[in-house]
Structure 1
Amino acid sequence: MMAFLNSDFFKRDVLTVAHDLIGVELVWEGCSGVIVETEAYAVENDPACHTASRPSAREFVRTQTPGTAYVYFNYGMYWLFNLLVKGGDRDGLILIRALDPRQGIEEMQERRQKQKLTDLCSGPGKLAVAMGIGGVHHGTPMTGKQRPKLCGLRARSEPVEVVADVRVGISQAVDFPWRFLARDNPHVSVKHGRVKLPPVR
């Protein structure tokens, strides 16, 4: 059994961490999935990051420890699960966009009302529903002594080929290649090279 990540993993540059989270297993209260897609958002010089427009996000980065869960409600529809990175070259938040389901699959199917494995966690809103993650989990420490016993991030057990791409569904900094994917994995939200960029004004 691989060890859980410690806070040092999250004290590096946000892009490095977003890349290295691919292949890590997110374990959550009886369910788990291997992370196959992430997006990095930098605290500085990234207009698409929450810290550019939300004082509450800046306060979260300032006060919370590396590896803490940042969970927010998007478009009035879905909870999205992110992880805090700080203490390296660039602080930031990393959106966990997709998982390859591993444990608790029947529970995920029930929550999502879907049977097909690739329908369970192939997007950030979907995976939060499937895993049972919601607003009450904002601020959950995912490393260290405060980490809940049934939650954590299990270190990568096998090598994985990672490719970079642009981020999905944003209107600013659309050309930053800050989305990371496990190459050819069927569980990603948008395949490599398939993101439609908004028209340039």
Structure 2
Amino acid sequence: MAGPAPYPAGFFDRPVLAVAPDLLGATVRHGPVAVRITEVEAYGGLGDPASHAFRGPTPRAAVMFGPPGRAYVYLSYGVHWCLNIVCGPVGEGSAVLLRAGEVVVGLEAAQARWPTLAVRDLARGPGRLGRVLGVTASLTGTPVTGGGPLVVRPPTSEVAGLGNGPLVGRVSAAGVVPAAGVGPAAGAIPAGGAGAAGDGARSGAPGQRIARGPRVGISAAAERPWRFWLAGEPSVSTARPGRRRR
């Protein structure tokens, strides 16, 4: 797949609330299938009760406290493999969950992995995204910065403007800034700036806008507006209240 060079490790070595929206429009590839990322959720470390890292570097979550730019894969409901990317400094324990996307390479291979789904729905949700990419626990700890089986590359264009979901934000030098009256919950991780860290890369797609809202399918800290998506994208997952086992 021709395109930009993979994101360097420095891109992921930033606060989770800066990395998460910057991944929108980027492409993640494993084997024959590549998915354009249209929806993500940010998960903090010790200060985020919804995160696997909340209780510290347990055997399951140890990779989250390691170097940024590596995969963290977990099994949801005993069925679906979900793909996260570790970010922030070593020891922080934060990661971005890839919630949804659009298959842009390897459509036949993706359909073979889930033949009953419409093309739009193949990666519409974290479990589906993981399945069409062929993700398993064996990828945990794998760098996504090139040279390995899992690679994340920036898009060729930038996000154009302002999200218009239930909670919205604008992309600026200070990161994704909440709209008036919409702020992150107490204990939120401060955004470090979209496109910071000197990598020169920005994310998104021409003419598209970033929307921001509460994370879905969790019971703890569900009010935090740490879910980001490309407004108007048909591949964005349907938000469902309730508890998702992370």
Bin of the TM-score, shorter chain as denominator length: 0.7 to 0.9
Residue 178 (structure 1) aligns with: 226
- Structure 1 counterpart SS, 2:211: strand
When normalised by structure 1's length, the TM-score is 0.87
Judge conservation of contact 2:81–2:127 (CA < 8 Å) in 1: yes
Shift of 1:111: 0.3
- Structure 1 counterpart SS, 2:59: helix
Q: Distance in 2 between matches of 1:115 and 1:125?
A: 13
Residue 134 (structure 1) aligns with: 136
Q: Distance in 1 between matches of 2:106 and 2:61?
A: 34
2:213 aligned residue (165, 169, 184): 165
Root-mean-square deviation (Å): 1.9
- Structure 1 counterpart SS, 2:151: strand
Q: Distance in 2 between matches of 1:42 and 1:196?
A: 20
1:61 aligned residue (48, 51, 64): 64
Judge conservation of contact 2:143–2:150 (CA < 8 Å) in 1: no
Shift of 1:91: 4.9
Shift of 1:158: 1.8
Q: How does 1:179-198 map to 2 (within 5 A)?
A: 179-190=227-238, 195-196=240-241
List gaps (5 residues or longer) in structure 2. Answer: 160-208
Judge conservation of contact 2:40–2:100 (CA < 8 Å) in 1: yes
Shift of 1:44: 2.9
What is the identity, as a one-letter code, of the residue corresponding to 2:27? E
Shift of 1:77: 1.1
Q: Distance in 1 between matches of 2:133 and 2:64?
A: 24
Shift of 1:151: 2.8
User: Once the two structures are superposed, what CA deviation does each residue of 1:142-192 show, in whole Å capped at 9, x if it has no partner?
Assistant: 125xx31x53111121223211111111000010000000111000112xx
Q: Distance in 2 between matches of 1:91 and 1:17?
A: 14
Q: Does 1:44 align with 2:46?
A: yes
Judge conservation of contact 2:71–2:142 (CA < 8 Å) in 1: yes
Distance 1:46 1:35, change over 3 A: same
Residue 84 (structure 1) aligns with: 86
Q: Distance in 2 between matches of 1:59 and 1:75?
A: 20
Judge conservation of contact 1:174–1:197 (CA < 8 Å) in 2: no
Q: Distance in 2 between matches of 1:87 and 1:179?
A: 21
Shift of 1:52: 1.4
What is the identity, as a one-letter code, of the residue corresponding to 2:63? F
Residue 156 (structure 1) aligns with: 155
Residue 34 (structure 1) aligns with: 36
What is the identity, as a one-letter code, of the residue corresponding to 1:83? I
Q: How does 1:112-127 map to 2 (within 5 A)?
A: 112-114=114-116, 116-127=118-129
Judge conservation of contact 2:100–2:123 (CA < 8 Å) in 1: yes
When normalised by structure 2's length, the TM-score is 0.72
Residue 111 (structure 1) aligns with: 113
Structure with the larger helix share: 1
List gaps (5 residues or longer) in structure 1. Answer: none
Judge conservation of contact 1:165–1:178 (CA < 8 Å) in 2: yes
Q: Distance in 2 between matches of 1:57 and 1:67?
A: 17
Q: Distance in 1 between matches of 2:220 and 2:25?
A: 28
User: Once the two structures are superposed, what CA deviation does each residue of 1:58-104 show, in whole Å capped at 9, x if it has no partner?
Assistant: 53233x3211000011111111100000229x651111001111000
Identity %: 34
Q: Distance in 2 between matches of 1:158 and 1:117?
A: 24
Residue 177 (structure 2) aligns with: none
Paired residue total: 190
